[in-house]
Structure 1
Amino acid sequence: MLTHLNLINFALADNLAIDIEQGFNVLTGETGAGKSLLLDALSACLGERTDTNYVRYGSDKADVTAVFSYQEHSPEAEWLKTHELDDESGEIHLRRVIFATGRSKAWINGRPSSLSELKELGRLLVQLYSQHSQQQLLEPPYPKHWLDRYSNFGAHTQAVKDSYTTWQSHIRQHQAALDAQATRLQKIDSLTLQLEELEDVVQVDYKEIEQEFDRLSHHEHIMLDCGYAVNALDEAEQNINQEISAIIRRLESHAGRSEQLSEIYNSLVNAQSELDDASANLKQFIDRQSFDPERMEELNGQLEIFHRLGRKYRAQPEDLKQLFEDWQAELEQLNQLEDPETLAEQVQQSHQVFLEKAQHLDEIRREAAEPLAKKLTEQVKQLALPEAYFEFKFEPLEQPSAEGFSFIQLLFTANKGIPAQPLGRVASGGELSRIALVMQVMNAEKTEAEVLVFDEIDVGISGGTAEIVGRLLAGLGQHVQILCITHQAQVAAQSDQHLLVKKLQTDPASSTIFALEEDGRIDELARMTGGVEISETTLQHAKQLRQLKFQSVNSGS
C-alpha cells in the first residue's frame, strides 16, 4: 500500500508531503490546479519516462519519493529479497531525481537502481487505469486478453505459446536437415581432411617453439651478456656484491642511531640477498645452455609448417589450434545431425502437443465466456444501460496460432430486440467509456497489485450513473487501495479520503495537496456540483451525497 509521497521542486510542487490512507482515495480540484501532479510523481517513482517539464521553474532538479508498505510473503517482498533490497522496516522507498539537463537517477531502499528495476517492482505495486483505456476495447486482441486475465488463464495461454514455439522450432530444424542433407557428406569429408592436416601440428604449442627458436637464434649474444652480468655482480676485482658488502659494513654501526638509516640499512641487506640469488640463478642458467643446430633446424621446420597452414586457412599461426577445435565441433555436430525422418517424427509429436494444449485452452475459454459475459451485462446495466447485453463470439482461425484456435470477439447491444454485434461497431463513445470502466473495475478485482490508480475514468458519466461508479470503487476499496482523479461529486462523495489540489498565488506559481476534513469535503463537493458560487442548495446536495455514503456503509452495501 502507498503510504507517503514527497515532492520537492516537482512541476508545480515546491515542497509537498502527502500521506495516503488505505481504502478509496479521491483527488479533486479546479481545472488547472494540478490534479495530475500526484500521479505524475508516482509514475516517476515507478520508472516511467520523465522530461525536464517535471523540474520546477528556476530549479536544477526535481526530487520525488514514494513510500509503500508491504506484507511479508507478498510478490514485492519476494522481489526485494531476490534483489537483496529487503528492509527491516517493512517499507519500500522509491526515489527518483530528475535533473534540468534531462538526466535522472533512481534508488530503491537507498540503493542506486536502474529504471528497468523500478518498472519491474512498480508493476507489482501499482496498476494504472486511464480515461483513454476505452480505446483498448476496440483493439482486436483485447476481448481475448480480458477473458484470459479475468479467468486467470495466464498459465494455460503461456503453455500454448511455448508449445507453439517448440513446434515451429522443430519445423525449422526439419527443413534445415532437408536442406543440409545434400551437402552434409561433402562437408564431413572436407572437414575430415582439414582436421587430418592440422592434427599433428596443433599438438605443439606455437608460442613455446617460437620462443625457443628465438632463444637459440640469439644464443651467442645471450651468453655474452649473461657472462658480463655474472662477472660484474660477483667475479670482477671490484664487483657489485663486494661494494654493497662494504657499504653495509659502514652503515651497520650507525643503523641504531637513526630510524631512517635503519630502514636504508635493511633495504641494502635485502638488496644484497636479491643480488646473491640473481647471481646464482644466472650461473645456473649459463651452465644449462647449449647451442643445438639440429634442434634449431627442427624448430625452424615446425614454424614454417605453422606459417604455411596459417596462410592456407587465412589464420594467424597461433590461432590454428582454436580453428582445429572449431572444426572438430562442427564435424561432431554434422555427425550427430538427425536424419530428416527422425526430425519429421519430432515435428509430428510437438504438433500434437500444441493441438492438445490449444484445444484445452479453447474449451476452458468457451466455458468461462458465458458467465463472464453475464456478469459484465449485470454490471453495465447499472450504469444507465438497462437493456445492455454482452456475449463472446468464437470464430475458428484458418490456421491455429500461438494465441489458440479461435478469434474471440465481444458482442454488444444496448437495445432490446436488437442482435448483439461487435462492440466497436455499435457502441457510442459514452457507452464505451462506461463499459471500459466496468471492465477495468472487474480486472482490478483480479490484480495482484495492492494500489490501483484510476485517472479520470469517469469522464462522460454523471448523476445516478456516477453515484453507482462511486459505489463500485468504494466496494473495491475495501480490498485494495485506490487513488482516483475525478470531476464527479457523486464519485468523490463515496471516498474514504478526499485529497484537494489547490493552486497557490506564489511566484512562481505552485500547487499544494491536502486531505479534507468533513466540512471541507462538503464545501468541495458543493463546488464540484454548483460551480464557483456555493449556495445553500448545493451545500445541502453535497451533504446528501455524503449521507448516501454513510448509509451504504451502515447497510453493508
Structure 2
Amino acid sequence: MLLRLIVRDFVIVDRLELEFDGGFGALTGETGAGKSILVDALSLALGERADATVVRSGAERAEISAEFDVTPAGALEAWLRANDYDTDACLLRRVIDSAGRSRAYINGAAATLGQMREVADFLADIHGQNAHHSLLRADAQRDLLDTHAGAQVLARDVAAAHGAWRTAREAREAAEKDVEATVRERELLEWQVKELVALGFDAVAWQEAEQEHRRLGNASELLEAAGATLATLEEGEAASLPLLQHAGARLSELTGVDPALTDAAQLFETALIQLEESALALRRYQDRLELDPARLSELDSRIDAVTQMSRKHRVMPEELPDLLLGLQNRLAELVLRADPAALAERERKAEAAFRDVAKKLSAVRTKTAKALSAAVTAGMQELAMAGGRFEIALEALPEGASCGLEAVEFRVSANAGQPLRPLAKVASGGELSRIGLALQVIASQANPAGTLIFDEVDVGIGGRVAEIVGRMLRQLGKSRQVLCVTHLPQVAAQADWQWSIAKETRGGATTSSVSVLDAEARIGEIARMLGGEKITETTRRHAAEMLGLS
C-alpha cells in the first residue's frame, strides 16, 4: 500500500506531501488542474523514463519520493533482501535535474531504473486513461492474457526456445546452400588452428620470456654497472667502503666522549650497514648473471614467432588464446555443418523443446481465456451492454511463432444476436472504453500489486454506467488500495475518501495544490462536478444523496 508521496518542483507542483489511506480514494478537480500530474510523478518513482521537461520552470531539479509498506515474509521483502536493501520499509526516490540527468534510490541506496521497475511490480499497477486503445493491438491483447494468467516467464521461455529453434534451422539451411564455401572456410580454419596450437602461446610464459629477453639483451651493460659500483665501494686504495667503515668506528668511539654524537653515529652505522648489504647483493647478482648468446638467440626466435603471428591476425599477443578459442568454436560449427544428419538432429531437438514449453503456455492460456471471457462478458452486462459477449479466441499457428502455438484475438459482440467479431473492427469508442474498463478491473484482481491506480479510465461513460464503475472500484478497494483520477461524480461519490486538486497562480507562477475533503467539502466538490460553476441547493442535495449523507 502507498503510504506517502512527496513531490517537489515537478511540472507545476512546487511542493506536495501527501499521506494516503487504504480503500478506494478519488482524486478530482477541474480540467487542467493537474490531477494526472500526481500519477505521472508516481510513475517516475516507479521507474518510468524522464527528461528535463518534468522539472518545474526555474527549479534546479525535480524530486519524487514514494513510501510503501512491506508485508513481512512477502514477495517484496524477499526481493529487497535478495538485492541487499533494507526491509523495514520501501522508499523509492527519484531525482531529475534541469539537464535531464536522473538518479534513483531504493531505501536510501542507489538503484538502477531496471531495479525500480522490478520492485514496482510488487507495489503498484497504473492504468492510464488511454489504456483501452492498446487493446486494439494483437500484442497488447496477448500480453494482457499472459499477465492475467501469471504466464509472463513462461511466455519469455517460449520466445527463447523459438529463437533457438530458428537458429538451428537457419544453420541447417545455410549448410545446405553453400557447401563449397563451407569447405573452403573449414580448410582455412584448420590451417590457422594448427598454426596457433603449434605456437603454444601462454600469456604467463610470454611475460616471463619478454622479461628474460630484456635482461639477457642488456647483460653486458648490467654486469658493467654492477662491477663499477663494487669497484667504487670495495676495490683499490680509493674504495669508499673501507674509508667509511673506519670513519664509522672512529665516530662510535667518540660517543663516549660526547653522547650528543650518539644519534649521528647510529644513523651513520645504519647507512653503512645498507651499503655493505648492497655490496653483497651486487656480488650475488654478478654470480647469477651470465652472458648467454645461445639463450638470447632462442628468445629472439620465440618473440619473433609470436609477434609475426599476432601481426598476421591483427591482434595483440595477449589476445592470441582468445583468438584460438574463437577459431576452434567456428571450426567445430563448420564440422557440424558438414554433417547434415547432426544438423537435422539438432534442429529436431530444438523444435521439440520449443513445442514442449509452448504446449504448457497453450494450456495456461486456454484455461485463463475461458475464465476471463466469462468474467468480461458478465462485466459487460453491468456496463450497459446487455446481451453483449466477449471472447478470447486462440487461433492455432501450426508452424509456431515466438509468441507460441496460437495467436490471441479479442472478439466481441456488443449486442444480443450479433456474431463475435474482432474487437478492433466492431467496437465504438464508448463500447471500447467500457470493455477496456471491465478488462482492467477484472485483470487487476489477479495483479499482485497492493496499489491499483486508474487515471481517468472512465472517459467515454456516464450516467448509470458511471455509477456501476464506481461500485466496481469500491468493491475492488475492499481488498486493495485503489486510487482513481476521475471527472465523474458518480465514480467519486463511491470513494471511501476524496481529494481535490486545484490550480492557482501566485506571483506569476502557476502551481497545483491538493485538499483533503471532509464530509461537507465532499458535498461541495460532488456538487461542482454535477453542476459546474453555478451550484444550487438542489445540486448540493443531489450530491449529498449520492454520498449517502442526506
Distance change in 2, residues 1:180/1:78 (3 Å)? farther
User: Does the 8 A contact of 1:177 with 1:339 survive in 2?
Assistant: no
Separation in structure 1 between the aligned mates of residue 31 and residue 319 of structure 2, nearest angstrom: 72
AA aligned to 2:168 is H
Partner of 1:115: 113
Question: SS of 1:525's equivalent?
Answer: helix
Provide Cα deviations, 1:439-480, integer angstroms capped at 9, x if missing partner. Answer: 110111111111111111111212211111011001111111
Written as runs of structure 1 = structure 2, the 5 A alignment for 1:260-299 is 270-299=270-299
Question: SS of 2:99's equivalent?
Answer: coil
AA aligned to 1:499 is W
Q: Aligned-pair distance for 1:515?
A: 1.6
Q: Aligned-pair distance for 1:284?
A: 1.5
Separation in structure 2 between the aligned mates of residue 505 and residue 314 of structure 1, nearest angstrom: 67
Provide Cα deviations, 1:37-75, integer angstroms capped at 9, x if missing partner. Answer: 321221221222333343333332222211111112333
Q: Aligned-pair distance for 1:158?
A: 4.0
Written as runs of structure 1 = structure 2, the 5 A alignment for 1:290-329 is 290-299=290-299
Written as runs of structure 1 = structure 2, the 5 A alignment for 1:393-408 is 393-397=393-397, 399-408=399-408
Partner of 2:139: 141
Written as runs of structure 1 = structure 2, the 5 A alignment for 1:480-491 is 480-491=480-491
Name which of structure 1's ranges 197-206 and 284-293 shifts more when overlaid on structure 2: 197-206
Written as runs of structure 1 = structure 2, the 5 A alignment for 1:151-190 is 151-154=149-152, 156-175=154-173, 178=176
Name which of structure 1's ranges 539-548 and 358-367 shifts more when overlaid on structure 2: 358-367
AA aligned to 1:345 is E
Distance change in 2, residues 1:342/1:256 (3 Å)? farther
User: Does the 8 A contact of 2:123 with 2:451 survive in 1?
Assistant: yes
Separation in structure 2 between the aligned mates of residue 433 and residue 150 of structure 1, nearest angstrom: 19
AA aligned to 2:536 is S
Asked whether 1:546 is paired with 2:544, we answer no
| Unpaired runs of at least 5, structure 1 | 551-557
Partner of 1:553: none
Q: How big is the alpha-carbon RMSD for the aligned residues of Structure 1 and Structure 2? A: 3.6
Partner of 1:510: 511
AA aligned to 1:546 is L
Partner of 1:465: 465
Q: Aligned-pair distance for 1:238?
A: 5.0
Distance change in 2, residues 1:445/1:527 (3 Å)? same
Partner of 1:536: 537
Which of 123, 126, 144 pairs up with 1:125? 123
User: Does the 8 A contact of 2:385 with 2:414 survive in 1?
Assistant: yes
Question: SS of 1:376's equivalent?
Answer: helix
Written as runs of structure 1 = structure 2, the 5 A alignment for 1:52-131 is 52-87=52-87, 90-131=88-129
User: Does the 8 A contact of 1:18 with 1:514 survive in 2?
Assistant: no
User: Does the 8 A contact of 2:35 with 2:501 survive in 1?
Assistant: yes
Partner of 1:446: 446
Name which of structure 1's ranges 284-293 and 434-443 shifts more when overlaid on structure 2: 284-293
Written as runs of structure 1 = structure 2, the 5 A alignment for 1:203-352 is 205=205, 208=208, 212=212, 215-235=215-235, 237-241=237-241, 246=247, 250=251, 253=255, 270-299=270-299, 339-352=339-352
Asked whether 1:45 is paired with 2:48, we answer no
Question: SS of 1:105's equivalent?
Answer: strand
Provide Cα deviations, 1:155-195, integer angstroms capped at 9, x if missing partner. Answer: 55345334323322332343455568656776666556556
Separation in structure 2 between the aligned mates of residue 321 and residue 54 of structure 1, nearest angstrom: 51
Percent identical among aligned pairs is 34
Q: Aligned-pair distance for 1:265?
A: 7.2
Separation in structure 2 between the aligned mates of residue 125 and residue 470 of structure 1, nearest angstrom: 23
User: Does the 8 A contact of 2:16 with 2:513 survive in 1?
Assistant: yes
AA aligned to 2:5 is L
Q: Aligned-pair distance for 1:202?
A: 3.8
User: Does the 8 A contact of 1:474 with 1:495 survive in 2?
Assistant: yes
Separation in structure 2 between the aligned mates of residue 364 and residue 322 of structure 1, nearest angstrom: 45
Partner of 2:411: 411
Written as runs of structure 1 = structure 2, the 5 A alignment for 1:365-444 is 365-397=365-397, 399-444=399-444
Question: SS of 2:506's equivalent?
Answer: coil
Question: SS of 1:85's equivalent?
Answer: coil
Distance change in 2, residues 1:225/1:77 (3 Å)? same
AA aligned to 1:94 is L
Q: Aligned-pair distance for 1:498?
A: 0.7
Q: Aligned-pair distance for 1:513?
A: 1.2
Separation in structure 1 between the aligned mates of residue 324 and residue 383 of structure 2, nearest angstrom: 75
User: Does the 8 A contact of 1:11 with 1:57 survive in 2?
Assistant: yes
Provide the aligned length of Structure 1 versus Structure 2. Answer: 544
Separation in structure 1 between the aligned mates of residue 322 and residue 355 of structure 2, nearest angstrom: 45
Partner of 1:555: none
Question: SS of 1:285's equivalent?
Answer: helix
Partner of 2:455: 455
User: Does the 8 A contact of 2:201 with 2:320 survive in 1?
Assistant: no
Distance change in 2, residues 1:21/1:309 (3 Å)? closer
Distance change in 2, residues 1:239/1:35 (3 Å)? farther
Separation in structure 1 between the aligned mates of residue 293 and residue 447 of structure 2, nearest angstrom: 83
Distance change in 2, residues 1:315/1:167 (3 Å)? closer
Distance change in 2, residues 1:32/1:225 (3 Å)? same
Separation in structure 1 between the aligned mates of residue 522 and residue 491 of structure 2, nearest angstrom: 12
AA aligned to 1:107 is Y
Q: Aligned-pair distance for 1:354?
A: 3.2
Partner of 2:477: 477
Separation in structure 1 between the aligned mates of residue 61 and residue 235 of structure 2, nearest angstrom: 74
Provide Cα deviations, 1:359-385, integer angstroms capped at 9, x if missing partner. Answer: 454455445434432221111121222
User: Does the 8 A contact of 2:4 with 2:68 survive in 1?
Assistant: yes
AA aligned to 1:526 is A
User: Does the 8 A contact of 2:336 with 2:342 survive in 1?
Assistant: no
User: Does the 8 A contact of 1:202 with 1:320 survive in 2?
Assistant: no
Distance change in 2, residues 1:242/1:152 (3 Å)? same
Q: Aligned-pair distance for 1:313?
A: 6.1
Question: SS of 2:116's equivalent?
Answer: helix
Separation in structure 2 between the aligned mates of residue 250 and residue 232 of structure 1, nearest angstrom: 22
Distance change in 2, residues 1:213/1:115 (3 Å)? closer
**TM-score for the superposition, normalised by structure 1:** 0.85
Asked whether 1:14 is paired with 2:14, we answer yes
Question: SS of 2:415's equivalent?
Answer: coil
| Unpaired runs of at least 5, structure 2 | none
Provide Cα deviations, 1:231-253, integer angstroms capped at 9, x if missing partner. Answer: 22333545554566547975995
Name which of structure 1's ranges 303-312 and 348-357 shifts more when overlaid on structure 2: 303-312
Separation in structure 1 between the aligned mates of residue 76 and residue 362 of structure 2, nearest angstrom: 32
User: Does the 8 A contact of 2:27 with 2:486 survive in 1?
Assistant: yes
AA aligned to 2:91 is H
Partner of 1:554: none
Q: Aligned-pair distance for 1:496?
A: 1.4
Q: Aligned-pair distance for 1:227?
A: 1.2
User: Does the 8 A contact of 1:207 with 1:318 survive in 2?
Assistant: no
